[in-house]
Structure 1
Amino acid sequence: MSDTPTQAPHQHAAATPGPPPASESERVEAEAGTPVDRRGGAMALLRSSAGHNLGLIVALGLLCAVGVATAGDRFADVSNMMTILRLAAVIGVVSIGMTFVITGGGIDLSVGAIVALSSVWATTLATQTMANEQHWLLMVFAAVAVGAGCGLVNGVLISYGRVVPFIATLAMLASARGLAEIISDRRTQIANVPAFRDAMSTEPLGIPLLVWIFVVVAASGWVLLNRTTFGRRTLAVGGNPEAARLAGIDVKRHTVMLYVLVGVCCGIAAIMLVSRTTTGSSTHGTLYELDAIAAVVIGGTLLSGGRGTIVGTVFGVLIFTTLSNVFTLNNLSISAQSLAKGLIIVVAVLLQQRLAKRSTAT
């Protein structure tokens, strides 16, 4: 039996055989009686990841041009560029983890508090004593383990406790920050492990180790999202959880893994922050959740889930860090920086919505 719809006898008689269509898309359009529309190439390019990344590159270039025009050599100096990269590295690692969570249809408001708790735990007297006696990597292990544990709690509450991600992570934000204050007694803890400071202050090939860590995390995140089954499942869960469940994906377990992943990223970021400031503090990571979400949205990841881009997130982090640097060099207030960031976020979301409507319309 043929798979093609049945037609009336007179329609078969009137049909005349013609040359086969050149492609599947042209065949479908020929059957529908619509000509191939070749005028939407520019819009299709704009909707693609390559077109979006090109727009981010242009935006970053314009920011750099503004920085050179307003701050001159102070902005273009190599040391200032390294400062931008160091600042971008810490929030960039957090943003990579946030990209996975948002792509999977979730949200995490607790990343800043988890960074603070991880930094405090890694710099407690007990942890540093063990690190001095054994190996400085114990500090790294402590921070990553605390971050992963917080992420596990978030994931279990959301997946199996059926708590809304916004509420679950908001509760973790308050709890983690409060626990960090209790452990540290609201005092700044000094990282006094010489081997740790020496190792984290190295500059392979003249580039700070923090930047290399960000590069490795970003590259690993890109491979994980774009070249593995885990990444494909993340896109499926974020796009349509019910369809993903019917396809055989354990949506609950996968959601837990996503929150553990962002927790691990927070632990890594905490160690990077401790190495940069030589301190662990309950005030670390303040507003990191907003900066990370902003970078992810600017990068092109949909807040509704189902589409994510690591490359876009990296550019989003660089754009916001460069913007802050330009404002600082020109002695502009933090309030002005916040206003500019807010406007950029709104414009990015509006563009996402507009492009999404056009793509569904076509």
Structure 2
Amino acid sequence: MSEQKTKVAEPRVDAPADHSTPATNPFQNFLKGSAGRNLGLVIALVLLLVVGAVTSGDRFLNLENMLTILRYASIIGVVSIGVTFVITAGGIDLSVGSVLGLTTVVASLSSVQLAATQSSWILMVVVALGVGALAGLINGLVVAYGNVVSFIATLAMLVGARGLAELISGRSTQIVNNRDFLQVLRADFLGVSVLIWIFVIVAVAGWFLLNRTTFGRRTVAIGGNLEAARLAGIKVKRHMVSLYVLAGVTAGIGGVMFLGRTTAGTSTHGLLLELDVIAAVVVGGTLLIGGRGTIMGTVLGVLIFSTLVNVFTQNNLDTSVQALARGLILVVAVLLQQRFATRGGRTRKAKLKPAKV
């Protein structure tokens, strides 16, 4: 019987597993970042300008029309800055249009104008900002401490503020007679309307507050994960109240600008403004589910919609077509947001459930 030699299998040495992160395309990383998203908005804005130039020619490209676009965007833009903070934190504010209308009515009351004439036109501004802040405070308290879903709470304020404005004004238009107030708000500085300068100042202040302060970081943290923010020591309820007050103040600023532009206060000011504001914020790249906000994107979103309205107006197109186009843009923006929110197999659908603050 021949001896059989059994071969002993040598241990197999596998190549070390590569746990390093796969190389990514730098261009793709750029597009995924805030700079890439803003670049897309800039391209969309430029395309709209090109369309306007081709269809309307010199009427569209002249300096006066460009300033008209900016003036139209200024009031919506100021209000949008405040709403950006609320949406970044995972909330919503449907009442800003009605609050704006209420501020114009209260600030243009004959008693307020008389007191402003005897003291200073700044009193009208203070009254408008105070009314807006008070409305925002009520919204914040109901949402944060009343545990009412922000959609319902601000919807109630939308109806209530509009009704209060109608009661105070008797559904009549109140003319602004304070000359100093009108002289300041209707003036130009360096050839540019004061309303545009107000928009620029509010946008810069909003960008700094969101991106360079603890207040902004807390806002993003609450929108990203409310429970984690609470465990990290953030006073979530107090912070949410301050965000709604901020939105109310920007609505008050918008009311002052409305008074300066129209020289009248009425309960119809700001009607459906909240829809334009939310559309501009969402198109700008702020996530509706919270956790990401961008002031620069909001500014670009406002400019895109105001330019779109101007292009349609220059070409005498029906307002129904304008509404359809804006609705399509908003739907596309939300679809893109959903794609970004679920990238890499990580979904954030759970955040859509209302959480107690």
TM-score, structure 1 normalization: 0.90
Which residue is 2:296 aligned to? 311
Distance 1:320 1:66, change over 3 A: same
Partner of 2:23: 38
Indicate how the Cα distance of structure 1 residues 200 and 32 shifts in structure 2: closer, same or farther if over 3 A, else same: farther
2:221 corresponds to:
236
1:153 maps to 138
**Mapping of 1:116-155 within 5 angstroms?**
116-155=101-140
- Deviation of 1:287 (Å): 1.1
Partner in structure 1 of residue 245 of structure 2: 260
TM-fit CA distance, 1:138: 0.4
Q: 2-side partners of 1:85 and 1:164: how far apart?
A: 34
The residue identity in structure 2 corresponding to 1:290 is L
Contiguous gaps of at least 5 residues in structure 1:
1-10, 17-30
State the one-letter code of the partner of 1:178. Answer: G
Structure-1 separation of matches of 2:181 and 2:346? 55
Separation in 2, partners of 1:313, 1:32 = 45
**Which deviations, in whole Å up to 9, do the C-alpha atoms of 1:257-306 show, x marking residues without a partner?**
00000000000000001100101110000111111110010110000001
* 3-state DSSP of counterpart to 2:190: helix
**2:55 pairs with 1:70:** yes
Shift, 1:346, TM fit: 0.7
* Equivalenced residues, count: 337
Q: Which moved more, 1:44-53 or 1:57-66?
A: 44-53
1:164 to 149, 153, 156: 149
Question: What amino acid does structure 2 have at the position aligned with 1:278?
Answer: T
1:193-208 superposed matches below 5 A:
193-208=178-193
Unaligned 5+ runs, structure 2:
1-10, 348-357
Secondary structure (helix, strand or coil) at the match of 2:142 reads: helix
Task: Name the residue aligned to 1:186.
Answer: 171
Tell me the distance in 2 between the aligned counterparts of 1:189 and 1:32: 75
Please give the residue correspondences for 1:322-333 in structure 2 after superposition, counting only pairs within 5 Å.
322-333=307-318
Q: CA RMSD in A?
A: 1.8
Report what 2:66 is aligned to.
Answer: 81
Question: Cα–Cα, structure 1 residues 84 and 124, in superposed 2: closer, same or farther, change >3 Å?
Answer: same
Give the distance between the partners of 2:67 and 2:338, measured in 1 at CA: 35
* SS at 2:36 equivalent: helix
Pairs within 5 Å for 1:297-308: 297-308=282-293
Residue 42 of structure 1, CA deviation: 3.1
* CA displacement 1:148-195 (0-9 Å, x = unmatched): 000000000000011110000000000000000011100111110000
- Give the match's secondary structure for 1:129: helix
Whole-Å Cα distance in 2 between the matches of residues 273 and 157 of structure 1?
A: 28
Paired AA for residue 34 in structure 2: S
Distance, in Å, in 2 between the alignment partners of 1:225 and 1:352 is 20
Q: Percent identity, please.
A: 60
CA distance in 2, matches of 1:32, 1:261: 52
Structure 1 residue 40: Cα displacement = 3.6
Among 322, 327, 335, the residue aligned to 1:337 = 322
Which of 251, 266, 286 is 1:281 aligned to?
A: 266
TM-score between the two structures when normalised by the length of structure 2: 0.91
Shift of 1:36: 4.1
Separation in 2, partners of 1:32, 1:64: 52
